Amino acid sequence: MKGETSWDCVDDNSNDNGDFGLFLEAIDEGNTDNSPLVSLDLILPDDLLDRILAYLPVASIFRVGCVCKRWHEIVNSRRFLWNTSPTSSQKPWYFMFTSSDEPVGYAYDPVLRKWYGIELPYMVKTSRWFVASSGGLVCFMDNESRSELYVCNLITKCCFRLHEPPGSKFCDYSALSISVDQSTNYTVSVVKSRLVPENYFQWDLSIHVYDSTTMTWTTSVTDMLTGWRGGDESVICNGVLYFLIYSTGLFHENRHKLVSYDLSNRSSVHNLLSQDFIPVPCALTCGRLMNMKGTLVMVGGIGKQDRQDIITGIRIWAFEKNAKEWNEVGRMPHKFFQGFGELDDVFASSGADDLIYIQSYGAPALLLFDLKKIQWRWSQKCPVTKRFPLQLFSGFCFEPRLEISP
């Protein structure tokens, strides 16, 4: 594979040979008459072996590359990468890392239920980055300058630096999102929000959109907010950009509202926020937006009506665009909510396909919610606890794919 990836499995129940140790033992047990074994490697042609290996989970593909020289050449060939495509057995992974000057992280595979020690791309030297992912690509934006952006494949380590986006570098808040289409072209959006000097109630807001086909940025929206500001939460779903805005006053019933913007609109918009807002389902301590198979989903911390900074639970809603209403699809059981310990009023959450991940910043406990099965479960314990017991933690969901490059 391109780049170097450390696929050290940290599951205590695994053996030295990985999944292939069991396979070899099964062959030996069946060979009771000491007859010569016939290797499949000698029978199958390269193109057929390509197709078989392409159905393996991503972690297993890296392991089979160590079996022999022929298999190593196959899984590293361009033909194999193009034949590899997401399958129903492959689920989105979650990358958890320490919030330190030199972040260390592990990726969780929900199918095999194992953590793998992999490194962030070379340019991410600190944890102070905004992160967004879609379709196998991950976008990183520097938290300080907001001018340094990269799109990369976290598995193959293929990276591409984007041109600096327009607008002021020195904004107070930024929301990053990325969307990959079926032809592997991608769109990156940055929503910037800056406090107007000497005015604590007015904020400049702008939306900047990058198109990978033209490799250019356009500034689609410039607007002025009064009593509201932009934040750091946004997502692109079915060609529509959704982002949360936050109240800066004390006279709003809820602290959050949702704004939508159709990215197919090619003309510049100067009064986007004059239209009706999309109300949030209830009083929230925080909201996390995600695209789940073309459906806008929000994971929110439930705040008290009179004290919205105090969290009382976590719920999940799906947005019905035609009806313009939220439908509750999941409510975290109290026993899982207690499992986070003293949960802060904000938390990390992201998802793709049918899986939603929820993680507390103060602990490496990771909770999964399956939208299809309506089922909650804990992940295996992350090994980052042993190495960094007093750290803060963060993370993001991404889809492990080999064939896509920025």
Distance set, CA 43 to CA 40, 47, 71, 218, 366 (Å): 5, 12, 14, 54, 44
Does 49 reside within a domain? yes
Are residue 79 and residue 132 in the same domain, yes or no?
no
Angle at 289 between CA 286 and CA 292, to 5 degrees: 145
Are residue 242 and residue 310 in the same domain, yes or no?
yes
Are residue 182 and residue 311 in the same domain, yes or no?
yes
Are residue 198 and residue 339 in the same domain, yes or no?
yes
Does 183 reside within a domain? yes
Q: Which of 29, 52, 83 is the last residue of a domain?
A: 83
Does 234 reside within a domain? yes
Per-residue model confidence as pLDDT tens for the chain (406 residues): 544 444 555 554 444 333 333 333 333 444 455 555 556 667 778 777 777 777 777 777 777 777 788 887 877 777 776 666 555 457 899 999 887 666 678 899 998 899 988 777 766 666 678 999 999 999 999 887 777 899 999 888 889 999 888 876 678 899 999 999 988 899 999 999 999 887 777 899 999 999 999 999 998 888 888 888 999 999 999 999 999 999 887 556 678 899 999 998 866 676 676 666 888 998 888 999 999 999 999 999 988 777 767 888 899 999 998 878 999 999 999 888 876 655 677 889 999 999 999 998 877 889 999 999 999 999 988 887 655 556 778 899 999 888 888 8
**Domain CATH number, residue 263:** 2.120.10.80
Does 206 reside within a domain? yes
Are residue 32 and residue 179 in the same domain, yes or no?
no
Say which residue the tokens 């260390």 belong to.
104
Domain count for the chain: 2
Which amino acid would we find at residue 363? A
Three-state SS string across 143-162, please?
CCCCCCEEEECCCCCCEEEC
Does 308 reside within a domain? yes
Q: Where are the beta strands (DSSP E) in 293-383?
A: 295-303, 311-320, 325-331, 348-352, 355-359, 366-370, 375-378
Are residue 78 and residue 142 in the same domain, yes or no?
no
Does 101 reside within a domain? no
Q: Which of 83, 115, 137 is the last residue of a domain?
A: 83
Which amino acid would we find at residue 395? G
Angle at 369 between CA 368 and CA 370, to 5 degrees: 120
Task: Note the pLDDT of residue 164.
Answer: 86
Side-chain-side CA neighbours of 10 within 13 Å: the count stands at 18
Are residue 184 and residue 285 in the same domain, yes or no?
yes
For the chain, the residue count is 406
Are residue 332 and residue 185 in the same domain, yes or no?
yes
Are residue 242 and residue 338 in the same domain, yes or no?
yes
Does 89 reside within a domain? no
Q: Which of 83, 109, 136 is the last residue of a domain?
A: 83
Are residue 297 and residue 213 in the same domain, yes or no?
yes
Are residue 291 and residue 393 in the same domain, yes or no?
yes
**Domain CATH number, residue 17:** 1.20.1280
| Backbone phi, psi, residue 140, to 5° | -115, 135
Are residue 77 and residue 140 in the same domain, yes or no?
no
* Gyration radius from the chain CA atoms: 23
Does 362 reside within a domain? yes
Q: Which domain holds residue 35?
A: 8-83
